A and B are shown apart, each in its own frame.
Chain A
Amino acid sequence: MATYREILEKTKAEIREVDAAEAQALEGAVWVDVRRHDEWDEGHIPGAIHIPRGSLESRIESRAPDHSLPVVLYCASGERSAFAAKTLAELGYEHPVSLAGGFTDWKRNGYEIKLPTSLSPEKRARYSRHILIPEIGEEGQLKLLDSKILLLGAGGLGSPAALYLAAAGVGHIGIVDADIVDESNLQRQIVHSLNTLGTPKVDSAKRTIEALNPDVRVTTYRERLTSENIDRILDDGWEIVVDGTDNFPTRYLLNDACVWRGIPVVYGSIYRFEGQVSVFKSGDGPCYRCLFPAPPPPELAPSCSEGGVLGVLPGIIGSLQTNEALKLALGIGEPLIGRLLLFDALTTEFDEMRIKRNPDCPVCGEHPTITEYVDYVEFCTR
């Protein structure tokens, strides 16, 4: 019968141990902390993911799907991580390594650590259905609580977005809207209610969000987005914008600003029974101007008096936008970049059009011709 020491020595001989400098030189490595929850909570290596040793076999493949990339495993002293490295080798990982001396030596040698940022028991309970999903977990929930998402418009599309982003625990939500809640809004704008009729939409939405989730901070901008105020609003550090606007001038203004700032825009648009969704992320895919270089001239624009929309349609399209925004905030899945999703509520059909970056795009192309904000004349205000 072998002793623990003998098994440990034998395991260490079978795996590769690295020191902190060697570990940091491994390109593309995934860092995995295999300690217990309470140990992780007291501090860990920045960028590492947490998979307790007991769940390693079942959870590693969803967090580190590429078996060819190096995986740096660490525990407190380098013992549990040695066994973990052996397990990963058995699972087919090509370069699992164990950090010699573990987190204790890492900390003692003065390397950077990330101090406790863990969820309180109340938050753990509130977000338990997120935490249970391996792709989100506590780490993902902390990301959401730390993210800043701006909603342009607190109307049909902005309503479900505001509610679901708030319920999901997005820590800071900004809302831009100059309008007042009107009776005709209540057929679809579910963030508002009879109680807030006649009040500014931003205040009404803020009230609903705060009643739903006190973890969310709300910043309101009771104004219409213009070339005058767009920089001031975006300077507040919004990381993702959910575009629920109703007019061309704002869409183009937002697009240009977000291309220049590298902020992804989750686009949505609705009309009667039909809607569109896409994600414009400059650098990774096309922008709105790649799709439509310029707005239609006023005389050829579709008439707005023929508008109207099925009440649930913005609920569907706004929820699809929220799904994209949450994925972007979490850094998971495949966002709708370079894809335009069309939805027809009458036939319940989805279609997807491929959209490409236009090398001649006036804003994100190779030789941009638009380098400052363009104020298009608003030719249709309902």
Chain B
Amino acid sequence: MSVVRVPPVLREEAGGAREVEASGATVRELLEDLAGRMPALGDKIYDGDEIRPYVNVYVDGEDVRTSGGLDAPVREGATVVLLPAMAGGKL
């Protein structure tokens, strides 16, 4: 089981949760598990084939795109951070 941190812009899709649990030995398995249980959240980050281009997924602080992509291993108890592009600043 890993802890997935949900960014504020996606919390509505996660029922308001700041963190959710997901299981999987690879990034793909983990995202499939998440999308199965929270389809709205899953859809915002993963299209079933690829991680959406405006979302980054970090496993233990490492961007999965540069560390093996969907096949990158996820250790038991890993911290997964979902990070969509954020525009706010001046607001």
What residues of chain A have their CB less than 8 Å away from a CB belonging to chain B? 153-158, 177, 179, 243-248, 251, 268-274, 276, 291-296, 300, 302, 306-307, 309, 314, 340, 342, 351-356, 358, 380, 382
CA distance in complex: A90, B58 (Å): 49
Cross-chain contact B89 with A270 (CB below 8 angstroms): yes
* B63 CB, min distance to chain A CBs, angstroms: 6
State which size class the interface on B falls in. Answer: 20 to 34
Cβ of B58: which chain A residues have Cβ within 8 Å of it? 353
B75 part of interface (Cβ distance < 8 Å): no
Query: Complex formed: what's the CA distance from A271 to B85 in Å?
Result: 11
Closest residue of chain B to A352 (Cβ to Cβ) is B61
User: Known contacts A292-B53, A295-B54, A296-B54: does B86 contact A269 (CB below 8 Å)?
Assistant: yes
Instruction: Give A99 Cβ to nearest chain B Cβ, in Å.
Output: 48
* Across-interface contacts of A177 in B (CB, < 8 A): 90
Chain B residues, CB < 8 A from A158: 90
In the complex, A251 Cα to B56 Cα: how many Å? 17
In the assembled complex, the Cα of A272 lies from the Cα of B58 at a distance in Å of 21
CB neighbours (8 Å) of A353 from chain B are 56, 58, 61-63, 81, 83
Smallest beta-carbon distance A154→chain B, Å = 8
Counting CB contacts under 8 A, is B12 at the interface?
yes
B87 touches A380 (CB 8 A): yes
Q: Tell me, rounded to whole Å, the shortest Cβ–Cβ distance linking B14 to chain A.
A: 13
**Does B91 lie within 8 Å of A309, measured CB to CB?**
yes
A296's partner among B7, B85, B89, B91 (CB-CB below 8 A) is B85
CA distance A380 to B52 in the complex (A): 20
Q: A291 to B88, Cβ gap below 8 A?
A: no
Given A245-B90, A300-B44, answer yes or no on A351-B85 (Cβ-Cβ < 8 Å).
no
- B89 touching A246 by the CB < 8 A rule? yes
Q: Is B68 an interface residue (CB 8 A)?
A: no
**Contacting pair A246 B10 (CB below 8 A):** no
The residues of A that contact B87 with a CB separation of less than 8 Å are 245-248, 251, 269, 295, 380
User: 0/1 per residue, B1-32, Cβ < 8 Å to A?
Assistant: 00000011110100000000000000000000
The answer to whether B61 and A354 have CB atoms under 8 Å apart is: yes
| C-alpha gap A380/B89 in the complex (Å) | 13
Query: What are some 6 contacts across the A-B interface (CB < 8 A)?
Result: A246-B88, A246-B89, A270-B89, A274-B7, A292-B85, A307-B88
A295 touches B88 (CB 8 A): no
Q: Knowing A272-B8, A273-B8, A274-B7, say if A294 contacts B88 (CB, 8 Å).
A: no
Which B residues, 47 to 72, have Cβ-Cβ distances below 8 Å to chain A?
52-54, 56, 58, 61-63, 65-66
Question: Which B residues touch A342, using CB under 8 A?
Answer: 81, 83
The distance in angstroms between the C-alpha atoms of A372 and B37, with both chains bound, is: 43
Minimum distance in angstroms from B60 CB to a CB of chain A? 10
Given A155-B89, A246-B88, A291 contacting B53 (CB threshold 8 A): no
Q: Is the CB of A243 within 8 A of B89?
A: yes
A382-B91 contact, Cβ under 8 Å, with A354-B62, A355-B63, A356-B66 = yes
Interface centre among B8, B12, B85, B87 (most CB of A within 10 A): B87
Complex Cα distance A268/B91, Å?
12
Least distance between A323 CB and chain B CB atoms (Å): 17
Q: Which residues of A contact B62 (CB under 8 A)?
A: 353-354
Residues of A within 8 A of B8 (CB): 271-274
B84 proximity list for chain A (CB < 8 A)? 296, 302
- Give Cα A276–Cα B90 distance, bound, in whole angstroms: 13
Nearest B residue to A179, CB-CB: B90
B76 to chain A, nearest CB (A): 20
Nearest CB of A to B52, in Å: 8
- B7, B84, B88 interface centre (most CB from chain A within 10 Å): B88
Given contacts A294-B53, A300-B52, 19 further A-B contacts (CB under 8 A): A153-B90, A157-B90, A179-B90, A244-B90, A246-B90, A247-B87, A248-B85, A271-B8, A271-B86, A291-B85, A292-B53, A293-B53, A296-B54, A296-B84, A340-B83, A353-B61, A353-B62, A353-B63, A353-B81
Q: Which of A155, A272, A340 contacts B90 (CB 8 A)?
A: A155
Question: B87: shortest Cβ distance to chain A, in Å?
Answer: 5
Contacts of B63 in A (CB 8 A): 353-356
